[in-house]
Every structure is written in structure tokens, then in C-alpha cells.
């Protein structure tokens, strides 16, 4: 699956990124998600590995240039009523959740993210 040249089908990659994200948010097992979507489960896993590899490859090239950051990682989560009223919910490493209400000022948010970054470096 890993390509050696610059020729990549960006449409196919975008489709699989979308499907893998939907599967993660669905709460279903990969097997059940693939069954319902009529996807080949082995192909799903192959694309998931490939996209992870590509993302790591991009990250390591950024780090070589000194641009990468080792701060907290964030994941988009599906919204339920509780989260929707909060505005945004970030799931941090270790499953901790940070809920950010609508209208929070940018400086306050920067301060919180900086504090989380410092904590993760300890």
C-alpha cells in the first residue's frame, strides 16, 4: 500500500480518511462498521495503517525542520447534548476531556493550551 513516488490518489486518500474518522466516531467495531458500509475489512485496516504511516512521515519531516510540536494531541469527538452546549470538547491524552464554552476569549484558551503543553512535557 505504501507508495514510493509522489503519485497518490488524493481523492481516494480523502475518502478513506473520512471513512476511518466516521468509524472512529461511530462507536461500532471496525468489523460492524465495514459490514454496514459494505467495505472490505482488510482494505479498511490497510488504509488505516497507510494513513497513519503517511501522517507519521509528515510529522517527522516537520520535526526535522524544527516546526513540529510535542504538545497535547486533540481528537474531534461526536457531539451529544452535553457537549453541544459546551461549544467544543477536546479529548486529551489519557482520555481527559477539556470542554471549551462558546465565546471563550482567545487569550484564555492560549493560556490553557500552554499549561497543558507544559504539563505533558514533564
**What tens digit of pLDDT does each residue of 35-49 get?**
999 999 999 999 999
- pLDDT for 69: 47
Residue 51 dihedral angles phi and psi, to the nearest 5°: -70, -35
Look at residue 64 and give its three-state secondary structure. Answer: helix
Backbone angles phi, psi at 74, to 5 degrees: -120, 150
Q: What pLDDT is recorded for position 10?
A: 87
100 Ramachandran zone, left/alpha/beta (phi>0; psi -120 to 50): beta
Q: Which residues of 68-103 are buried (b: 16+ CB within 10 A; e: fewer)?
A: eeeebeeeeeeeeeeeeeeebbbeeeeeeebeeeee
The predicted model scores a pTM of 0.46
Residues of the chain with pLDDT under 50: 64-69, 83
Amino acid at each position: 500500500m505504501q507508495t514510493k513516488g509522489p503519485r497518490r490518489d488524493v481523492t481516494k486518500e480523502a475518502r478513506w480518511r473520512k471513512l476511518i474518522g466516521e468509524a472512529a466516531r461511530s462507536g461500532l467495531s471496525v468489523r460492524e462498521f465495514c459490514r454496514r458500509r459494505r467495505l472490505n475489512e482488510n482494505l479498511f485496516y490497510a488504509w488505516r495503517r497507510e494513513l497513519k504511516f503517511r501522517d507519521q512521515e509528515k510529522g517527522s519531516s516537520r520535526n526535522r525542520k524544527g516546526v513540529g510540536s510535542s504538545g497535547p494531541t486533540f481528537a474531534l469527538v461526536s457531539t451529544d447534548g452535553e457537549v453541544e452546549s459546551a461549544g467544543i470538547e477536546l479529548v486529551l491524552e489519557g482520555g481527559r476531556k477539556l470542554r471549551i464554552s462558546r465565546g471563550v476569549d482567545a487569550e484564555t484558551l492560549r493560556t490553557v493550551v500552554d499549561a497543558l503543553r507544559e504539563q505533558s512535557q514533564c
